[in-house]
Structure 1
Amino acid sequence: MNLVLETDRLLLREMKLSDAEKLYEMDCNPNVHKYLWNKPISSIEEVDEYIEMVRDQYIKNKIGRFVVIEKESNELIGWAGLKYNTVEVNNKINFYDIGYRLNENSWGKGYASEVAFAWLDYGFKTMNLNTIMAAAHAENGASNAILKKIGMKFTEDYWEDEVLWNWYELKNNVIK
């Protein structure tokens, strides 16, 4: 993909195999996975497989998760983006969701909402999507607050693998 998005402080570009080490640093941290079934990754090979899956989504769906680069330091600090879901989640299938995951040392700086706003803008204005969805662990106060801050509307909660999740949706008000 040749797509690059930019915010005031961040650069969002396609995920590459060369990003594996930095993504591994993030995803082996138990704090990062506290609200993701407490299952941090345990090998760089898992990251390589994830990157290949994301790159496959670029080809199949023309969109996917992108790495987040802090401009000032040129450091990879996580990933964010839109994903076309072809697997059922909360009794829904074939929908776009917005997601983000940042390294712990980048939390609390407004980066997640900054990238989320950029992806909403791209999804609605460039891709002309009708609706973007999201899910957050019901106990993850920070992620739920970010989704509300970017305008997502809580619609319901649901259970998956004995975990309670909050479901959010946002309709495109750009398309008339």
Structure 2
Amino acid sequence: MKTFHVESERLLLRELRVEDVEGMFALDSNPNVVKYIGIPPLTDKAQSLEYIHNIQQQYEEKGIGRWACILKETNEFIGWAGLKIEEKLSDFGPYHDLGYRLREEFWGKGYATEAAKISLDYAFEVLGWNDVEACADFDNKGSNHVLKKIGMRHTRDSMYEGIPLHWYKITKLEWLQKISIG
């Protein structure tokens, strides 16, 4: 299996592993966490294990997938973040997607923003992507705030399976301009 290791001041982002199943289940079984993403809360750890295996398959097939988000101070799994090649959500075809999902007790501490920033760095510096997109439910104020805060610009709105989505994008040039002015 492909391994990843990216760090920020407080976070370690690494490949998802089978041993992350407890943390994944704690994440996706919480109704508040999955409220805006169109899935019901998970009820069985086997569902979390299947999710981990699907991401590991993305690593092998696409060379990228979501990463486990680990709090360096405690070595605790707090959620996932990172990149993937999304093929379903957009009418415009496959695109480079940025995403994150954190356990509720870690909301509001800047971790999603920190993880999203280092994911963009990886997308542009390591993968050499020219752009990255993301979407968030209209009502998900926290996620919409994070995407704007990291420099993504709102590009359009759409519906996906009855969920109204705001779409955001950042190009490599926009990202380079953002980091050059600090």
Give the structure-2-normalised TM-score: 0.92
Letter in 2 for 1:148: K
- CA-CA distance at 1:88 after TM superposition: 3.1
The answer to whether the 8 A contact 1:30-1:38 is kept is no
Mapped pair 1:147 → 2:136: no
1:32 partner SS:
helix
Aligned to 2:45: 44
Aligned to 1:12: 13
- CA-CA distance at 1:34 after TM superposition: 1.2
Q: In percent, how many aligned pairs have the same letter?
A: 41
The answer to whether the 8 A contact 1:26-1:102 is kept is yes
Runs of 4+ in 1 over 4 A off after TM superposition: none
Mapped pair 1:79 → 2:70: no
Tell me how far apart the structure 1 counterparts of residues 4 and 73 of structure 2 sit (CA, whole Å): 21
More helix by share: 2
Tell me how far apart the structure 2 counterparts of residues 88 and 32 of structure 1 sit (CA, whole Å): 21
- Structure 2, gaps ≥5 residues long: 177-182
Tell me how far apart the structure 2 counterparts of residues 75 and 56 of structure 1 sit (CA, whole Å): 24
- CA-CA distance at 1:95 after TM superposition: 1.3
The answer to whether the 8 A contact 1:67-1:76 is kept is yes
Letter in 1 for 2:114: E
Can you list the C-alpha shifts for 1:19-63, whole angstroms capped at 9, x where unaligned? 101110111000101112251111111111100100000001111
Tell me how far apart the structure 2 counterparts of residues 38 and 56 of structure 1 sit (CA, whole Å): 21
- CA-CA distance at 1:94 after TM superposition: 2.1
Mapping of residues 61-140 of structure 1, within 5 Å: 61-85=62-86, 87-140=87-140
Aligned length: 174
Aligned to 1:158: 158
Can you list the C-alpha shifts for 1:104-157, whole angstroms capped at 9, x where unaligned? 000000000000000101101111101100010011011000000001110111
The answer to whether the 8 A contact 1:79-1:100 is kept is yes
